[in-house]
Chain A
Amino acid sequence: MNSAKLKRTALFAAHQKLGARLIDFGGWEMPVQYSGLIAEHLAVRNAAGIFDISHMGEVTVSGPAAEEFLNHVLTNDIRKLAPGEGQYTLICHEHGGTIDDLYAYKLSAGVYLLIINASRTPDDVAWLKAQWHAFPRRDEVNLTDASHNYSAVAVQGPRVTNFIDDCFPGASYACTRTHRVTDLKKNQIGEFHFKNGGVLVSRTGYTGEDGFEIIGEDDLIQRVWDKILKAGEPYGIKPCGLGARDTLRTEVCYPLYGHELDENTTPIEAGLGFFVSLDKGEFIGRQLLAEQKAHGTKKKLIAFKMADKCAPPRPNYPIWANGRSVGVVTSGTQSPSLGTGIGMGYVPPEFAKSPIEIEIRGKRFPATIVPKPIYKKPAA
């Protein structure tokens, strides 16, 4: 592999300095771990962790017809958003299959920011541009791939609220207006002063813990990274890589595009019907998604736990029920929080409550289908 051809985020030097183990993730040279996957995972569950998410893509959509355009290409109802609020949503094609899952923020009236998966950025941008071309009011919609303008970090964990306000002192001056970062409610986004500029801070994340995601220009985010690591040090913050990011999101059953979602899988099959607003009117994929909501699907996403101590389940391992191979694992790992094998996968709906087995290296091991999320935070 010629690592010179991989893209690097603005935080690459920081990762090297911390001794990160680097891997190719969707064409980016990214840290998979620093001190160790399990330690990083547990730091996020018990204290705090910071992730470089600069590889993700950003698309800005603005103009008088921006709302109408976005409601046409996304499944969730963007009209629900107040200024300074975001929602989880999906882009589907005409047959209901998923092009990407993403967050859409209404920064202010007629101004939207989409945060999309790194591995899907070129596909999403091509799709959105093609839909924009075909959109009757396209002259009233400005659509821009702004990915190269932004870096971003995610700070997640129960101790984050102890130190995050000190990193961005003062009230927000745009989007959601609050006196301090920790006054942001879940899914809210505010713009806060940082050094000689400003950054967007949202109360969102991909780990199942309380936390924030911070988006801004490269040089500011480099300094945000350093500031947060320093401020979080007394609270046990660790830099965390993509390895821990994956075990954290699997424990809480968040989908990962390319695993639980792809162009041959609909949000309904993935159990994401809550984010598909059939009532809002026409949108791309509506017809098939409505049929699925009404009449059911051929496959259903389930979550499972291994019943005994055995090798961990992994993506693409077969799922057996009633003595036959009926489905496939989409995500699987040894859960650092639970100490057992866990995963998600697709089975025909008639097996969604069955005892199942996971085939691991030619042998089958029993597993139990469990409600999502697999990991729930213990009651405070």
Chain B
Amino acid sequence: MSDIPSDLKYTKSHEWVRAAGDTATIGITDHAQAELTDIVFVELPEAGRKVKAGDACAVVESVKTASDIYAPVSGEILESNKTVVDDPALVNKEPYAGGWFFKIKLSNPAELTSLMPPEQYKAQVGG
């Protein structure tokens, strides 16, 4: 049974979004990190890059597989989490805190309404 914080929104592809004003922080869910198991490498987008909702913009690798991470919303990458690049295991330990991936400046805040609320994500992963 995975952890699904109630103050976040979610995507089908297991990203979470924490919105504050016109900025959103993105990471992967507890369910996703448990599925991936030991994460050994994270590749994050550069600041300034513009992304559209649904663009593959990061990669997370476990020992056995590589997985694409998709931008849940459109905008410009403000910052990527260097700590997680240096210590990929942090994604497994703190998927919602220290294991965040990147921050986006939202170009279309209305997109937030089409993200999944916690109950819907919980139903998807059977939490």
Contacts and interface: CB of A to CB of B under 8 A. Distances in A.
Given A38-B38, A311-B43, A312-B41, A334 B59 contact: no
Given A311-B43, A334-B41, A247 B63 contact: yes
Contacts of A247: 63
Given A32-B64, A37-B64, A312 B37 contact: no
A318 to B, nearest CB: 16
Interface of B: 37-38, 40-41, 43, 59, 61-64, 66
Contacts of A60: none
B63 to A, nearest CB: 5
Contacts of B38: 36-39, 336
Given A37-B37, A38-B38, A312 B61 contact: yes
Contact of B63 (A21, A310, A336, A361): A336
Given A243-B63, A312-B61, A334 B40 contact: yes
A247 B64 CA distance: 9
A334 B54 CA distance: 28
A333 interface: yes
Contacts of A336: 38, 63
A72 interface: no
Given A33-B37, A38-B38, A311 B66 contact: yes
Nearest 3 A-B pairs (CB), nearest first?
A334-B40, A38-B38, A311-B41
Interface string A355-366: 000000100000
A314 interface: yes
B59 A361 contact: yes
Contacts of B64: 32, 37, 243, 333
Interface SS majority for chain A: mixed
Interface residues of A, number: 17
Contacts of B61: 311-312, 334
B63 A333 contact: yes
Contacts of A314: 66
Given A38-B63, A334-B63, 12 more contacts: A32-B64, A36-B37, A36-B38, A37-B62, A243-B37, A310-B41, A311-B43, A311-B59, A311-B66, A312-B61, A334-B61, A336-B63
Nearest to B68: A361
A372 B83 CA distance: 33
Contacts of B40: 312, 334
A241 to B, nearest CB: 10
Nearest to A243: B64
A38 B88 CA distance: 13
Among B38, B43, B63, the one with the most A-chain Cβ atoms within 10 Å of its Cβ is B63
A197 B38 CA distance: 40
Among A21, A39, A243, A311, the one with the most B-chain Cβ atoms within 10 Å of its Cβ is A311
Nearest to B35: A21
Nearest to B62: A37
A103 B119 CA distance: 54
Contacts of A21: 37
A24 to B, nearest CB: 14
A82 B66 CA distance: 47
Contacts of B37: 21, 33, 36-37, 243
20 contacts: A21-B37, A32-B64, A36-B37, A36-B38, A37-B37, A37-B38, A37-B63, A38-B38, A38-B63, A243-B63, A311-B41, A311-B59, A311-B61, A312-B41, A312-B63, A333-B63, A334-B61, A336-B38, A336-B63, A361-B59
Nearest to A246: B64
Interface string A61-88: 0000000000000000000000000000
A49 B62 CA distance: 21
